[in-house]
């Protein structure tokens, strides 16, 4: 695979540990716990880079004015290798250091952290990067979620696949609560529309590089398509290995896997064949171009949704702190998040229009297909508007590129 040797080297050599002390009096401490070593390090590093870039730019622009005092942000970063126990240990450490918020990008590690962040006198915000709808049902009052719900993708993806004439689907999706929930939601929608699931063989996209066993089992059922996905780097391996094993059917990718990253790893979109998944960040550009220039220059990596959405999430946190007028009252900061929005394309690389009662930021979903190995035009989906009138109101506020098609796809939340 083109670029693969350098990616593997980066994955296994990229270990990032920062062991610091609590923030100074004029600093606001925020933390990151995520996979920055091991197979999932590419994914975790992109998330961390977006957070780091926002922190640097906020500090360089003068910091955060809270009342009559100005604060800078301090970022403490810890590796958890997507392990729940390590994630909780990291969160405990950041909690003891007085972190206002802890960012985490894997639901399997986010959920355990949500069991400790409301402890009296030790509160911190969980800044979650996960599309799972289940996170909003955990009823955590101090959680902010910076991705669209994957429910918007399940209906769109299954409709598209059924219209193509695909009837049978094998599932080879990432292990863990997020992957299980995606698979269950997909199965229900697929079977409701007359489709058949031939087999479900979860795979460890966070630890493995050889997917021959689950792929052999899946291909043996002769499916029209496969539901696949986890971190983009290992999803690229799944596509490559499936094609090498003779699979000629289509792919449906869960939203964690990103087409633009995978295309770069594969050298093109050719091996994708016929595929549907989330749209690439630059192909659905809002205010992304200026951000892309700054980001690629600073981090020598391609711009991804992971860095973009977490960059905007840090900015929303900073605005909420300023609106709350406090750096210590976590509940008051959480209550001030509605005042942080909207964040629009004139200043930010993705637009955040508001927040749901469950703490999920209202962000357009992005959908893009590949036909016979060539990318099609993407479109944006507004999932939170409950009526056509609310959808039209969103379009009037948005400053994103109006050339890109936008559709109303309401889902419960």
d(CA 119, CA 110): 16
Query: Does residue 38 contact residue 82 with C-beta atoms inside 8 Å?
Result: yes
Instruction: Identify the CATH number of the domain defined by range 151-281+364-408.
Output: 3.40.50.2300
**Look-up: residue for tokens 């990616």?**
7
d(CA 355, CA 333): 14
Q: Terminal CA-to-CA distance of the chain, rounded, Å?
A: 40
Both tokens of 15, joined, read: 């270990």
Instruction: Please give the model's pTM, rounded to 2 decimal places.
Output: 0.89
pLDDT tens, residue by residue, 181-228: 999 999 999 999 999 999 999 999 988 999 999 999 999 999 999 999
* pLDDT score for 252: 98
* pLDDT score for 21: 52
**Look-up: residue for tokens 């977006």?**
50
Query: Does residue 28 contact residue 65 with C-beta atoms inside 8 Å?
Result: no
Query: Does residue 348 contact residue 313 with C-beta atoms inside 8 Å?
Result: no
d(CA 277, CA 290): 25
- SS3 label, residue 200: strand
Spans of the chain below 70 pLDDT: 1-23, 25, 285-287, 413
Query: Does residue 353 contact residue 360 with C-beta atoms inside 8 Å?
Result: no
> Where exactly does CATH 3.40.50.2300 map onto the chain?
4-148+287-340, 151-281+364-408
- SS3 label, residue 76: strand
CATH 3.40.50.2300 assigned to domain 4-148+287-340? The reply is yes
* pLDDT score for 9: 38
* pLDDT score for 13: 40
pLDDT tens, residue by residue, 224-272: 999 999 999 999 999 999 999 999 999 999 999 999 999 999 999 999 9
């Amino acid at each position: 695979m083109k670029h693969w040797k350098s990616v593997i080297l980066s994955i296994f050599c990229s270990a990032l540990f920062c062991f610091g002390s609590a923030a100074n009096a004029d600093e606001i401490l925020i933390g990151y716990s995520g996979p920055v070593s091991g197979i999932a390090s590419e994914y975790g590093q992109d998330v961390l880079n977006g957070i780091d870039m926002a922190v640097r730019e906020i500090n360089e622009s003068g910091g955060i004015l809270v009342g009559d005092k100005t604060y800078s942000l301090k970022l403490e970063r810890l590796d958890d290798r997507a392990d729940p126990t390590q994630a909780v240990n990291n969160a405990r450490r950041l909690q003891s250091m007085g972190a206002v918020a802890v960012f985490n990008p894997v639901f399997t590690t986010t959920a355990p952290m949500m069991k400790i962040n409301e402890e009296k006198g030790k509160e911190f915000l969980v800044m979650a990067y996960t599309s799972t709808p289940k996170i909003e049902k955990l009823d955590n009052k101090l959680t902010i979620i910076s991705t669209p719900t994957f429910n918007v993708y399940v209906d769109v993806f299954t409709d598209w696949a059924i219209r193509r004439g695909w009837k049978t689907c094998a599932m080879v999706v990432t292990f863990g609560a997020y992957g299980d929930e995606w698979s269950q939601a997909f199965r229900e929608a697929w079977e409701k529309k007359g489709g058949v699931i031939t087999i479900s063989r979860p795979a460890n996209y966070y630890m493995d590089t050889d997917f021959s066993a689950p792929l052999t089992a899946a291909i043996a059922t002769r499916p029209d398509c496969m539901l696949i996905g986890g971190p983009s780097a290992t999803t690229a391996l799944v596509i490559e290995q499936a094609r090498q094993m003779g699979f000629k059917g289509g792919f449906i990718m869960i939203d964690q896997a990103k087409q633009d990253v995978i295309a770069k790893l594969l050298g093109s979109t050719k091996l994708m064949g016929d595929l549907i998944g989330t749209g690439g960040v630059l192909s659905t550009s809002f205010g992304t171009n200026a951000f892309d220039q700054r980001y690629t220059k600073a981090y020598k990596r391609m711009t991804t949704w992971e860095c973009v959405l977490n960059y905007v999430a840090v900015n929303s946190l900073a605005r909420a702190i300023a609106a709350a007028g406090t750096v210590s009252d976590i509940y008051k900061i959480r209550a001030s998040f509605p005042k942080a929005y909207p964040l629009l394309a004139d200043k930010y690389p993705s637009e955040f229009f508001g927040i749901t009662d469950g703490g999920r930021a209202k962000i357009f979903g992005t959908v893009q297909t590949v036909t016979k190995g060539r990318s099609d035009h993407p479109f944006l989906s507004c999932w939170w508007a409950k009526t056509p009138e609310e959808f039209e109101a969103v379009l009037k506020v948005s400053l994103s590129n109006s050339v890109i098609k936008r559709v109303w796809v309401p889902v419960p939340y």
